[in-house]
Amino acid sequence: MKYCLCIDLLYLELGPAGPVFSDTTKLLAGMELAKKTGYKAVEFWDWDTRDWKALVQKKQELGLEVSAICAKDRGTLADASTHDKAVQGMKETIEAAKQFECKNIIIVANAMKEVGREESHKNIVEGMKKLVPLAEEAGVTLILEPIVGSYFTDSAEPFAMLEEVDSENVKLLYDIFHYQTMEGNVIPAIKKNLDKIGHIHAAGCPERHEITDGELNYDYIIREIKKMGYDKYFGIEYLPTKDKEVSVIECKELIENA
């Protein structure tokens, strides 16, 4: 099992007006921190709102891998009228992914108030099918991420959608934090659907902090995932409660020693 550090959430701040997202400078610092603490791979969210060429340069300078980036215009697949925009965003994202030598591109599906669930389901599947040829041609994998507050409320429906799309270039991002919040039973769900999972995210529950604390036993969870033969990325995506360097080292040691 490979592991990586999500540097985006690591530097997110909560201000009086809401979340303050990481800028390019913070992501560059995150790359430096990952290298210093022994991580071989990082991931982050939006590439198009940052100086992504500077991030590519830093990635090459430090010899890091980029395990995943998020697609531009990725969230509105439930609305069929936005599919062309999503296709164009994916084309641009694939070109950026080539520069990062990144093989995983994250997509999401937000709930659309004006679109019912049955129609949303159909639109999301059709939207992914429009993206599939681009992914197959580029040799990248689209990673569908269900998150709390998005269209999805469980794991059964997105796994069913992947069967409808029927492409090895579309997998699920199984976020343990989000699925513990939505439905629990994370190990049985992962074991049952391992072939459909292309990436895993992890954070402590219920507050999304270090995997070394909280209501989930990550020592057990990681051991079980390793036993399954999972060979893709296990990414920690969390808000640290202590010095960042100390925090990411402790999480890394838990992953390696489990």
End-to-end Cα separation, the chain, in angstroms: 11
Q: Is 243 exposed, middle or buried (0-12, 13-18, 19+ CB in 10 A)?
A: exposed
Domains identified in the chain and CATH numbers: 2-257 (3.20.20.150)
pLDDT computed for residue 20 by the predictor: 84
CB under 8 Å to 9, separation ≥6 — which residues? Answer: 237, 238, 239
Say how far apart CA 171 and CA 258 lie, in whole Å. 25
Give residue 183's pLDDT band: very low, low, confident or very high (50, 70, 90): very high
pLDDT computed for residue 13 by the predictor: 85
Residue 17, pLDDT > 90, answer no
- How far is C-alpha 60 from the chain's CA centre? 22
From residue 108, alpha-carbon distances to 128, 218, 246 in Å are: 10, 25, 31
pLDDT, one tens digit per residue, over 186-244 is 999 999 999 999 999 999 999 999 999 999 999 999 999 999 999 999 999 999 999 99
β-strand 18-20 against 41-46: which pairing, if any? Answer: unpaired
pLDDT computed for residue 18 by the predictor: 79
Q: 24-30: long-range contacts (C-beta < 8 A, 24 or more apart)?
A: 24/50, 24/51, 24/54, 24/55, 27/55, 28/54, 28/55, 28/58, 30/5
Q: Tell me the three-class secondary structure of the chain, residue by residue.
A: CEEEEEHHHHCCEEECCEEECCCHHHHHHHHHHHHHCCCCEEEEEECCCCCHHHHHHHHHHHCCEEEEEECCCCCECCCHHHHHHHHHHHHHHHHHHHHHCCCEEEECECCCCCCCHHHHHHHHHHHHHHHHHHHHHHCCEEEECCCCCCCCCCCHHHHHHHHHHCCCCEEEEEEHHHHHHHCCCHHHHHHHCHHHEEEEEECCCCCCCCCCCCCCCHHHHHHHHHHCCCCCEEEECCCCCCCHHHHHHHHHHHHHHC
pLDDT, one tens digit per residue, over 20-78 is 889 999 999 999 999 999 999 999 999 999 999 999 999 999 999 999 999 999 988 99
Active site residues: 145, 237
The model carries a pTM of 0.96
- Decide: 247 and 241 in contact? Cβ < 8 Å: yes
- Decide: 121 and 165 in contact? Cβ < 8 Å: no
**Structure tokens of 133?**
């040829």
pLDDT, one tens digit per residue, over 64-115 is 999 999 999 998 899 999 999 999 999 999 999 999 999 999 999 999 888 9
